[in-house]
Structure 1
Amino acid sequence: MKHELVKPDITVIGGGLAGVCAAISAARLGQQVALVQNRPVLGGNSSSEVRVWVCGATAHGINRYARETGIMGELFVENQYRNPEGNPYLWDLIILEAVRTESNISLYLNTDVHEVEATGDGDERMITSVTGWMMGSERKIRFESQIYLDCTGDGLVGFLAGAKFALGREARSEYGEEWAPEVADEITLGSTLLFYTKDAGAPVRYIPPSFAKDITQTSIPIRRVIRSGDSGCHYWWIEWGGEHDTVHDNELIRDELWSVIYGIWDYIKNSGKFDADNMTLEWIGSLPGKREYRRFTGDYVLTQNDIISQREFPDAVAFGGWSIDLHPPQGMYAEASGSKHMHADGVYHVPFRSLYSANVRNMLMAGRDISASHVAFGTTRVMATCAVIGEAAGTGAALCAAMGVSPRELYARHLAVLQQTLLRQDASIIGVRSHDELDLARRAKVTASSTLTGIALEQPGETYPLGTDVALLLPVHPVLSGLELLLDASSDTALTVELWDTGRKENYVPHSLQVTANVNVTTGTAQWVKLPLEWRPEEPQNAFIIIRSNKAVSLYHSTEAHSGVLIFFKTEENHVSKNLEDHATDQPVVLWSMQGLARQPFCCRTLSETTAYSPENTVNGYHRPYGGPQQWMSQPMQSGQPEWVQLTWEEPQSLAELHLTFNDDVNEDLVNLHHHHTTFRVMPELVRNYRVEMLSQSGEWLEIISAAENRKRKVIHTLDTPVYSQALRVNMDATNGSKYAELIEIRAYGEGTR
């Protein structure tokens, strides 16, 4: 046996997506990081060992412009390009490569931390070391660091350190939560095993094992959805253990889940109710995917009321958007729906005070074990949300280590530094603006080769009979003086249209009615009809324009997507079986759905100019949609002619580093194992080929950067030698499919100021 001592600046325990993003963010800020994972692969529940979809704030397309950016965004986009089939082993590889790319990370796989040394009394604990056993290598490794992050999911490190925590469901009276039980208990969400199937191309018989459960003697065939072609996360509802201890009873829970999986497959193969002769089992999980265990107590406990009210926090560092998604304690045997969902009207905010321990002064946490009530945990638990929380916690840890402060002191004294650092990394804090004083672009005059000043979707595709209410969302910057729709009318009729605001800039649902118009439409096809909708809001924001149902009218879908423009359909029916998911349809984000047609808005033309796509947006401090698209967009590109954005200063500047953020359409829902597929591997709006030029003292434009085949949202160019110039120009020569050049943000830094 070997005994080793490792002394990194930061030790991250847990290699799920929260731990991975925490480690990467801290390493990129110059800290030496040990990432310790007790499994042979990274990714936690998303890995090939468990194979759960990575879901997040988009909530499978329910929320708009809600996909994560930062490190999780990088992983999503890379996986879309390299792994379009959703191969779980390639997903493992993408995560592993992201970690190994960072030279400041030392990775310890197969290393189970089960010893923690901590000092101090109960209210002021300090972790001095954690020790892990590397399985298969007979190495006992002791890690001594300034800062520790518990990203274990189960919260073992914090528990052994004496951190305060909650387990189970709080009573309704504790936080005033509608969905909490009257009396507190120790019930949690259960664990799940998944399985994969495939068509073998020839008949395959199946003989079940002796322990396979006869599911016809349970409520499963009646209360759950079983289809022979489904596999993987379609069977998320194979869940059990909520009434047990999901850690101590892990083996018992696994065996029960196995018995049901083999019983389900027996039912599919041998009941005669399915066309499954050629189907065979390809893979069955053996490591239960746990949903819930300990939740540490921080300086703030996030609750249901915070989620549903979308409470704004001064220390917001991350966001989520998945519904509060709770499951019955009996899991797959329950008579009730497999899950019930409560949605906010949009995304919600996560405070930094929920990411560090209230009593262990050098411990942060990320992932399933953050400071949240059981009900709030119902949304923060999904993995893309865990990942962005991980990036925030890792960034906080890096700043703590660099400044020699505790997380609580970082919150009290350096909160702005934390938030601005996250924004510079392209992490998203919804509604928080960048005001980086070191960013030279903020001091420059911004101009462009051309700017889109009106919205005109004039290329018609299929028609849509107006049998239900539909809606368009458009930016109003600063005024809307009317709108035209392309439509057919089978008879003379009157069309009713309403303009609503969205209430909050991060929301995309109707909130308050502003204008109503009734328009007479004559019989005809492919006619442009003017809608007298006039609105000048006090500040730029989105308009939610509802077109009421009319059986005589058909609208035209556009063949082109358009940044800043969304389409909605009103539906009062659940999009999935209520036996699986119970979504109350009176919730606005459920009532108004994109139905997978976000890239096919209705043909329309605005009748007033807009500044929503001004080049000044690239330095306004926002780097994702918020009350509008918050980007620059050119006129349609012409062959062989680049579109450009230029920074000009009053005096020459020394420039050493340039940050470019391109549009990767955060409205597009991406999932690692492909709950659905996009028709493209690279976001069409992303700029593919570009060049950066500087203005020389003699007045010539000199190329200093050239990039081809770009498929990334955020690109950082560090110059080998700083340049001295009064102007920079980003020339965009080609996109990945869009006819517009688009740029979200540009930053420029001098030498030594980054």
Structure 2
Amino acid sequence: MIKEEYNPKVRSNKSVILTSDLVVCGGGLSGVCAAVEAARQGLKVILVQDRPVLGGNASSEVRLWALGATSHMGNNNRWAREGGLIDEILVENTYRNKEGNPVLFDMVLMDFVKNEDNITLLMNTAIYHTVKADEKNIAAVEAFCSQTSTNYLINGTYFCDATGDGIVGFQAGAAFRIGQEAKAEFNEKMAPEEANTELLGHSIFFYSKDVGKPVKYVAPDLALKDITDIPKYQSIKSSDQGCSFWWLEYGGKLDTIHDTENVKEELWKVVYGVWDYIKNSGEFPEAETMTLEWVGAIPGKRESRRFEGHYMLTQNDVIDQVDFEDAVSFGGWAVDHHDVEGVYTKNDSCTQWHTKGVYQIPYRCFISKNIDNLFLAGRIISASHIAFGTTRVMTTCAHGGQVVGTAAALCLKHGLKPEDLKSGHLLSELKNALSARGQGIPKVAYEGPNLLKEAKVTHSSSMSLAKIPANGTWKYLGKSSAQLLPLRKGEAYSFTFDIKANATTKLEAELRLSDKLGNFTPNVILERQVQAVEIGEQKVCFQFKETIPEDQYVFVVLKQNGLVAYKSSELLMTGLVSVFNGENKKVSNNGRQTPPSDIGIDSFDFYTPLRRPDGQNIGMEISPALEGFSADQLTNGLVRPDVRTNAWIADPLDEQPCLTINWEQKKKVNNLTIFFDTDYDHAMESVQMGHHESIIPFVVEAYEILDDRGHIIFEKSDNYQTINRINLHAPIETKQLKIRFKKNQYATPVAVFEIIIN
């Protein structure tokens, strides 16, 4: 037993002193990615999280779906899902948890952290004090764990503030901002004329379920009594739950840090009042057997402090898609701002203005301009309030977290300050390190060491796409439909479709492309043709005369005509996708974006894909056949489609696809990294949405690697991940490697984006 006599003095809690290379403060997705990446690169990491679970707004405590540049597949950003570690996490979650259970996502994140021996994880531990070594450097943070009554003094060489509210940066004295900049400061047309302190508010969600028998609901006293206080109450549906109630928002006029508990109580008032309306108003008879299953206990925060880095991203950088020398990350969510009145507004709850493509985020946004050993991650990175409207979303934040983890490893390796990586050969080393991990930075290719570049690579076959087989169902042209194809510069193409018409009519086709190379917004019509169509089934050929000005993806568009159907295709192939001029209300996509003329936003049509099992490719014959799927794509340093597919794709009839890598002299091989296709066009929302399959159809599930003696040095039979890192048990010396692939269960052509051998 433990027995202690009366002590007239104040007793002290248990105290623990810890020391690490990197202290990551905050366990949301950005903090998790920073910690895991740094740990994988050899740093000793302490991850401090003030909540009982990881994930922040993505956790089961808040239950917001994690999204980024893909924007629910509702914008024109093709193959834009963030790469690297956050991709690995989302692919893992889809494999384990395709239904989107938020509790299971908690455990996916926990496994990623706990599987790293170099991470010390402190949960339920709140940082309350920052200790400075001098004016420009942090020495330690002090924290308290409420569950173990333990005080921590956590020393570190580098610190990452991923806390959302920026508690460490604030206490360390780093420059920050709260509110909206005036229009004149950065020449941002969306900004107000005068600076103000208005912000995006917090939200609390709820889940409901039907239990099959009548359930009584007595509203708590705090519940909102008059539902008409919520101007949007007539849009409420009893079937809505979770993120569908994102607009239950409040606090934009308050102090979103210090008033959070008051904001939470107001949101509880709203939530329980909304449920009272659903249950007891008589407007929803189907709700008689429904019960309130879960209500968030903490609000999901959108905005508070933003810190000043060595560069501040602005609206113009985002909309103009500015290229930065120090580009290390990217975004693509809309510039998404909410009305300051939140749930009580009589205006639109939010405005989402989309860009024509993804935009780069420079490294300078991730480092404090005042504190020499402080990295910034998550929603607090250096961006104006307008740019923050797009950088704040979670997978964009997580993508930046990997930047911090990688940069911290390089800083420790070379004994540098974070700002030393801003330019020169150290910046190149950082970008190559990120690219080697699949970061997928737009216009940035991996240029680091790779023995594959010294080899002669041959393939058993490669795709020559003369036909997308018309073996699917008939699809009527209720909306304009298009096939995205990687066409070659200088070529003129013809396309032949299987068509069925219910009446004599005319079918119009267009070749469309983007005015900016690498974008997927079809705002330029290269050529338009019209063909007469008879009643019944027939083949219709469009012979276009215009040649393609550059290697790029081109939209082959069949214009809307409800009398006409085309034959779809069951073929699934890397780099092919059909898109439709439809709507996606979740992201303010009404088929065309038409903003006011004075806010600096572009007008354009949306052509977006459908989720599997819908959205089949359009059956067609293509002349000349599409080439460019050979093994020489494997060393261009790119790991997703941009202006071309950037993949070796085997012939669909090849029963034993194989790559053979030959060197003139023996090479010492330590490891290989193979980049497969897990469909970067699929949004992979972490919770609530659910997904059609747990293993993406394009990915190679099984393969084996043989040396020059025919010995199998590695084999894999259960792959579902994008990136396979193969560290051999011992280095081998060989003049040849042969990689034999097995066709997967979906019978899609085998495809590989990139192989790095060291």
Give the TM-score taking structure 2 as reference length: 0.93
| Aligned match of 2:222 | 211
Task: Find the partner of 1:83 among 88, 97, 101.
Answer: 97
| Aligned match of 1:725 | 734
Task: Find the partner of 1:332 among 343, 354, 370.
Answer: 343
Q: How does 1:663-702 map to 2 (within 5 A)?
A: 663-675=677-689, 677-696=690-709, 701-702=710-711
Whole-Å Cα distance in 1 between the matches of residues 298 and 637 of structure 2? Answer: 44
Deviates more, 1:419-428 or 1:62-71: 62-71
Instruction: Count residues with an aligned counterpart.
Output: 734
| Aligned match of 1:433 | 445
8 A contact 1:339–1:581 mirrored in 2: no
| Aligned match of 2:21 | 9
Whole-Å Cα distance in 2 between the matches of residues 375 and 652 of structure 1? Answer: 55
Task: Find the partner of 1:594 among 609, 631, 634.
Answer: 609
8 A contact 1:194–1:285 mirrored in 2: yes
Q: Does 1:268 align with 2:265?
A: no
3-state SS, counterpart of residue 144 of structure 1: strand
8 A contact 1:637–1:643 mirrored in 2: no
Shift of 1:362: 0.7
Task: Find the partner of 1:497 among 486, 509, 516.
Answer: 509
Whole-Å Cα distance in 2 between the matches of residues 206 and 435 of structure 1? Answer: 62
| Aligned match of 1:506 | 518
Task: Give a deviation string over 1:646-694, Cα, whole Å, max 9, x none.
Answer: 222222211111111111111112101032x332110011111111111
Q: How does 1:410-429 map to 2 (within 5 A)?
A: 410-413=421-424, 414-429=426-441
Whole-Å Cα distance in 2 between the matches of residues 582 and 271 of structure 1? Answer: 35
| Aligned match of 1:627 | 643
Unaligned runs of 5+ in 1: 750-754
Whole-Å Cα distance in 2 between the matches of residues 452 and 570 of structure 1? Answer: 29
Deviates more, 1:499-508 or 1:139-148: 499-508
8 A contact 2:459–2:658 mirrored in 1: yes
| Aligned match of 1:312 | 323
Q: Does 1:64 align with 2:113?
A: no
Q: Does 1:659 align with 2:670?
A: no
8 A contact 1:617–1:631 mirrored in 2: yes
8 A contact 2:482–2:558 mirrored in 1: yes
Deviates more, 1:51-60 or 1:397-406: 397-406
| Aligned match of 1:649 | 663
2:367 is matched by which residue type in structure 1? Answer: Y
Shift of 1:590: 5.7
2:580 is matched by which residue type in structure 1? Answer: F
| Aligned match of 1:52 | 64
Whole-Å Cα distance in 1 between the matches of residues 729 and 492 of structure 2? Answer: 47
Whole-Å Cα distance in 1 between the matches of residues 532 and 333 of structure 2? Answer: 41
Identity within the alignment, %: 36
Deviates more, 1:717-726 or 1:373-382: 717-726
Whole-Å Cα distance in 2 between the matches of residues 614 and 7 of structure 1? Answer: 50
Whole-Å Cα distance in 2 between the matches of residues 276 and 590 of structure 1? Answer: 39
Task: Give a deviation string over 1:229-287, Cα, whole Å, max 9, x none.
Answer: 21111111111000000111111101100011110010000000002001001111111
Shift of 1:120: 4.2
Q: 1:582 to 1:650 in 2, by over 3 A?
A: closer
| Aligned match of 2:499 | 487
Whole-Å Cα distance in 2 between the matches of residues 502 and 41 of structure 1? Answer: 43
2:706 is matched by which residue type in structure 1? Answer: E
| Aligned match of 2:267 | 257
Q: Does 1:610 align with 2:592?
A: no
| Aligned match of 1:114 | 128
3-state SS, counterpart of residue 60 of structure 1: helix
| Aligned match of 2:361 | 350
| Aligned match of 2:4 | none
Whole-Å Cα distance in 1 between the matches of residues 554 and 127 of structure 2? Answer: 52
Shift of 1:736: 4.0
8 A contact 1:633–1:742 mirrored in 2: yes
Whole-Å Cα distance in 1 between the matches of residues 457 and 515 of structure 2? Answer: 31
Task: Give a deviation string over 1:669-726, Cα, whole Å, max 9, x none.
Answer: 2101032x33211001111111111113xxxx22111111111111111111222111
Task: Find the partner of 1:153 among 153, 158, 164.
Answer: 164
| Aligned match of 1:228 | 238
Task: Find the partner of 2:55 among 35, 43, 46.
Answer: 43
Q: 1:651 to 1:499 in 2, by over 3 A?
A: same
2:399 is matched by which residue type in structure 1? Answer: V
Whole-Å Cα distance in 2 between the matches of residues 36 and 417 of structure 1? Answer: 28
| Aligned match of 1:735 | 744
8 A contact 1:228–1:268 mirrored in 2: yes
1:430 is matched by which residue type in structure 2? Answer: P
2:25 is matched by which residue type in structure 1? Answer: I
Q: How does 1:199-598 map to 2 (within 5 A)?
A: 199-222=210-233, 225-274=235-284, 275-413=286-424, 414-436=426-448, 438-478=449-489, 479-525=491-537, 527-534=538-545, 536-537=547-548, 539-571=550-582, 575=585, 584=593, 591-596=606-611
Shift of 1:455: 4.4
8 A contact 1:341–1:583 mirrored in 2: no
Shift of 1:508: 1.1
Whole-Å Cα distance in 1 between the matches of residues 470 and 672 of structure 2? Answer: 37
2:636 is matched by which residue type in structure 1? Answer: N
3-state SS, counterpart of residue 277 of structure 2: helix
8 A contact 1:637–1:739 mirrored in 2: no
| Aligned match of 2:716 | 707
Q: 1:576 to 1:85 in 2, by over 3 A?
A: closer
Shift of 1:595: 4.2
Shift of 1:116: 0.6
8 A contact 2:592–2:603 mirrored in 1: no
Shift of 1:588: 6.2
Whole-Å Cα distance in 2 between the matches of residues 562 and 722 of structure 1? Answer: 35
1:591 is matched by which residue type in structure 2? Answer: F
Whole-Å Cα distance in 2 between the matches of residues 503 and 443 of structure 1? Answer: 37
Q: 1:326 to 1:451 in 2, by over 3 A?
A: same
8 A contact 2:573–2:748 mirrored in 1: no
8 A contact 1:72–1:384 mirrored in 2: yes
2:405 is matched by which residue type in structure 1? Answer: G
| Aligned match of 1:73 | 87
Unaligned runs of 5+ in 2: 1-12, 596-601
Whole-Å Cα distance in 2 between the matches of residues 211 and 111 of structure 1? Answer: 31
Whole-Å Cα distance in 2 between the matches of residues 710 and 739 of structure 1? Answer: 15
3-state SS, counterpart of residue 673 of structure 1: coil
8 A contact 2:591–2:606 mirrored in 1: no
Give the TM-score taking structure 1 as reference length: 0.94
8 A contact 2:501–2:563 mirrored in 1: yes
Task: Give a deviation string over 1:49-86, Cα, whole Å, max 9, x none.
Answer: 11111111100002321112211111111111111221
8 A contact 1:574–1:583 mirrored in 2: no
Shift of 1:297: 0.1
8 A contact 2:572–2:748 mirrored in 1: no
